[in-house]
Structure 1
Amino acid sequence: MMLDLTGRIALVTGSGQGIGRAIAQIFAAQGAKVLLATRSEASGAETLRLIREAGGSAELLTVDLSTRAAANQAVAATLRAFGGLDLLIHNAAVFPMENLRDLRDEILESTLAVNLKSCFWLTQAALPALCQAEHPRIVITSSVTGPRTAIPGLSHYAASKAGVNGFIRAAALELAEHRVTVNGVEPGLIATQAMANLGDSPDLAAGIPLKRLGSPQDIAHAMLFLASEQAGYITGQTLIVDGGALLPENTQFT
């Protein structure tokens, strides 16, 4: 099955590294024009270089998606660069480790703003353009942490991702009349730079039935399907991509 995105326009947030970079690269390889929205100009420039060297089409916006104004700016930059918007891909997230009893207001607020509030802001800004698209899609990177599992020191992150899943379902219901589908991907343990905060990779992989950490490309390919024309009858859903980590009732079965 060919998942062709030729001629479609995508805004990918958090696309400077890791999962977001993989999403942007794979979407561009399938023919999409991609607006890269990321906090780091250096990492964003590297993603831009990789896409263009592979023959893809992309533009870069350096932006911190912690405010409504920044979300509006990202959508406006996409419309300005490519003249429309078909695919809104919200992947940007922050997850600083901090125990609940010591959690500072600024950490809580920034986590909720980037991870959860941006879902609202980006959707509101993008909706007029999405309603003009032939196959409009919103796809959000959620997580198994929060909706299904917990990690000490990440209560703020868990709450934000549980909220993301609630947003996906409610937004899917509201936007169905506009033909906009809203779905998400829940990554498990993925081999990214941020994974260094959680421990040694071999130890983490040992508890996963497939015996490896996921790759950013594993998540990007799931995103590609949900963004494709072929996924047009799927909405309000999240797809778990975790190598089977959530399957065992007890770790003795892995």
Structure 2
Amino acid sequence: MKDKVFPKLPDQDDFLMDLQNSNYSPLTIHNYARDLCIFAVFLNFRGVEFKDVSKKDISMYKGYLKAGEHLKDLDRIRKEFVKNAGIQAISGAKAASDDLSDDTDMGAMNTPSKAPVFEVSFLESLYNRVYGSLGIFERPMNTNARKKSGLDVNSINRMLSSVRSYLKFRVKWDLEIPLPADAVDMMKGEKRVKKVASLQDLTALIESPLEFESDERVAIRNRCMLEMLFASGMRISELINLDLENINVEGKMYIIGKGKKERSVYLT
């Protein structure tokens, strides 16, 4: 890697800034940034320029993600970054926050040198979050991810959708593209039959915090969260971001859902 810069696609910063300026949610922008960075890593280690990307490369990318090869390449980048930055290897099982020195700014490694202050600040923060889980030297970046051989069909299709959106952005901005967005085909997934949990299973799940959690306060909190999920039908992300002022005595809650859209739900 040249100049210790993490791989990224041409005009990737402009794409992410356009999402920010178009008022997309921080989580959505983060997901796009992560997906595009992984695609850039794939191209980087295979010596493929973005302008030369073909349908064959897209097909190989699907297999790459399905096999979990992206995890190995991300580890290679992590080790190279640590080596180039002169960071000492950590042999002990310290917390991830101790892996890099306080003055090591990973985001700064991937941002343009000449850009408005607000843009640099946004991109640095974004890339720090994307690459912030580099993990301990000589240890897996994501232990949970290593339990499976690779990504499932839904995850791969989401990442392919990010590449599609990036290509459409380039068309909108009159930038050259190596292939049309429609050429990025989604993977065929299995149709799963939706199953409804039994009342007995739901009751056991709701009561499980009181049975397995040793801290009574945490147990009560977790049970309340489960009760609220089942009583309102809200999303988990909406529950986590719920504030007390969003709830009134009548059991009506105002929440911010996907796309920063406000909606109300009721406790039944």
Please confirm whether the aligned pair reaches a TM-score higher than 0.5, indicating the same fold.
no
TM category (shorter chain) comes to: under 0.3
| Higher share of residues assigned strand | 1
Larger radius of gyration: 2
| Higher share of residues assigned helix | 2
TM-score in terms of structure 1 length: 0.22
TM-score in terms of structure 2 length: 0.21
